[in-house]
Amino acid sequence: MFTFGDSYIDTGNFVIMAAPALPVWQDKPPYGMTFFGHPMGRISDGRVIVDFIAEQLGLPLLPASLQNSSDVSKGVNFAVGGATAIDVGLYERNKLVQLKLLNNSLNVQLGWFERLKPSICNTTKGCRDRFSKALFFVGEFGVNDYSFLWSAGKTEEEVRSYVPKVVQKIAMAVERLINEGAAYLVVPGNPPIGCSPTMLTFRSSLNRTDNYDYIGCLNDINRVARRHNSFLRLAIGALRVKYPHTTIIFADFYHPIISIIEKPNRFGVNGADALRACCGGGGKYNWNASAVCGMPGVTACKNPSAFVNWDGGHFTEATYRYIAEGWLHGPFADPPILSAIRH
Ligand SMILES: *[C@@H]1O[C@H](CO)[C@@H](O)[C@H](O)[C@H]1NC(C)=O
Ligand SMILES: *[C@@H]1O[C@H](CO)[C@@H](O)[C@H](O)[C@H]1NC(C)=O
Ligand SMILES: *[C@@H]1O[C@H](CO)[C@@H](O)[C@H](O)[C@H]1NC(C)=O
Ligand SMILES: *[C@@H]1O[C@H](CO)[C@@H](O)[C@H](O)[C@H]1NC(C)=O
Ligand SMILES: *[C@@H]1O[C@H](CO)[C@@H](O)[C@H](O)[C@H]1NC(C)=O
């Protein structure tokens, strides 16, 4: 398995890349409290989606590429928290972000893949052979791109205008990997970030009337996420026509989250907690920018599996497990991963 993406599937790159330039709390307890028992570079209380998928395929949990693991023969994870589809320079040059960003966009991750290739395979034919038997993940990408724009106060129309560019970057990466021999690729769409405690808190701090949907999520933000997903599906459709020998799977990251928030009790989640983070520093959504998970004194809920959201911007292991199951067996992947790779 070779995986590219952001914090939803990162297995340790952000923690390595960010320190000491940025303050890092994700390598402190209670991160990892549910599964590993200690922080393990995942931005969750335990395993993330690609961990469950690796387990199901009988592979070891993927090492993060920046760990310099001596064994990458079964795969490696290039995903890193905060990663964008569009090069980060665009957000910096246009002053859309205040901070210096980590240089971790999709293109940079593809560069890491190129550099690591000699430790995986040596000849063009050998590499193509190897990659044709691997499962690639390209994404999720887009959430960080759109989040920077929303946080910079851009209107829905302005954020929406980025959708074709973001989707084009993802499609180009898929195409580049296919040209290297990849034959099985999973391309996840965007989750409903209009339901995330970070976005909900940010919006409620502004003096404006926001438009909430029937489950309490932000309509404009989720509309852009859905638009991204429709564009991405179209782009995947075009790639399937162009490369009929490949299997390109669209993985739905949107509806599994919505289905939990819609009927939380069915998933063991208390209705009042459906839009609240398990680990956080208080407030309506239990997310507080000055007291985030991992900081001293910030505590987690007793039972993270009774929450959808872990730390404000990321999901609990229980949510990731549900998504992984839906991608492996259906109904949240087209086609489901297990049926696709059995051919
Ligand atoms: C990985 O290798 C690079 C290049 O040799 C080095 O700069 C980096 O510190 C190493 N990272 C870790 C986590 O050991
Ligand atoms: C990020 O790194 C790539 C090469 O890895 C480089 O071409 C690009 O200019 C860098 N971007 C920024 C904003 O530093
Ligand atoms: C590639 O070639 C180098 C030098 O011959 C060798 O040390 C290395 O083990 C080879 N890598 C693979 C994955 O076969
Ligand atoms: C919000 O805007 C209204 C009308 O301009 C003003 O009266 C009120 O004080 C503002 N509230 C906050 C919290 O800024
Ligand atoms: C957020 O955290 C800060 C720092 O701990 C605290 O002063 C503030 O009261 C908290 N806000 C809420 C809404 O809990």
The one-digit pLDDT tens for each residue of the chain (343 residues) are 999 999 999 999 999 999 888 889 999 999 999 999 999 999 999 999 999 999 999 999 999 999 999 889 899 999 999 999 999 999 999 999 988 899 999 999 999 999 999 999 999 999 999 999 999 999 999 999 999 999 999 999 999 999 999 999 999 999 999 999 999 999 999 999 999 999 999 999 987 888 999 999 999 999 999 999 999 999 999 999 999 999 999 999 999 999 999 999 999 999 999 999 999 999 999 999 999 999 999 999 999 999 999 999 999 999 999 999 999 999 999 999 999 998 6
Nearest to 109 by CA among 142, 76, 134, 61: 76
The pLDDT, as a whole number, for residue 22 is 84
Q: Note whether residue 302 is domain-resident.
A: no
Q: Is 20 exposed, middle or buried (0-12, 13-18, 19+ CB in 10 A)?
A: exposed
Q: Note whether residue 128 is domain-resident.
A: yes
As a whole number of angstroms, the distance between CA 273 and CA 197 comes to 11
Range of the structural domain that residue 128 is part of? 2-195+221-263+316-342
The pLDDT, as a whole number, for residue 343 is 60
**Domain harbouring 50, CATH code:** 3.40.50.1110
The pLDDT, as a whole number, for residue 100 is 86
The pLDDT, as a whole number, for residue 207 is 78
Instruction: Find out whether the beta carbon of 122 lies less than 6 Å from any atom of ligand 3.
Output: yes
Q: Note whether residue 291 is domain-resident.
A: no
The whole-model pTM stands at: 0.95
Q: Note whether residue 207 is domain-resident.
A: no
Q: Which of 86, 88, 103 to mutate to test the pocket of ligand 2 (most atoms within 8 A of CB)?
A: 103
Structure letter (DSSP) for residue 247: E
The pLDDT, as a whole number, for residue 130 is 96
314 an active-site residue? Answer: yes
Ligand nearest to the CA of 113: 2
Return the sign of the alpha-carbon dihedral for residues 61, 325, 57, 239: negative
Instruction: Find out whether the beta carbon of 280 lies less than 6 Å from any atom of ligand 5.
Output: no
Residue 16 Cα: closest atom of ligand 1: 13
- In the reported structure, the alpha carbon of residue 219 is separated from the centroid of ligand 1 by a whole-number distance in angstroms of 43
Distances (CA, A) of 212 to 139, 153, 194: 27, 17, 9
The active-site residue, picked from 6, 27, 45, 311, is 311
Instruction: Find out whether the beta carbon of 116 lies less than 6 Å from any atom of ligand 1.
Output: no
- In the reported structure, the alpha carbon of residue 266 is separated from the centroid of ligand 4 by a whole-number distance in angstroms of 40
Q: Note whether residue 111 is domain-resident.
A: yes
Q: Per the structure, how many domains does the chain have? A: 1
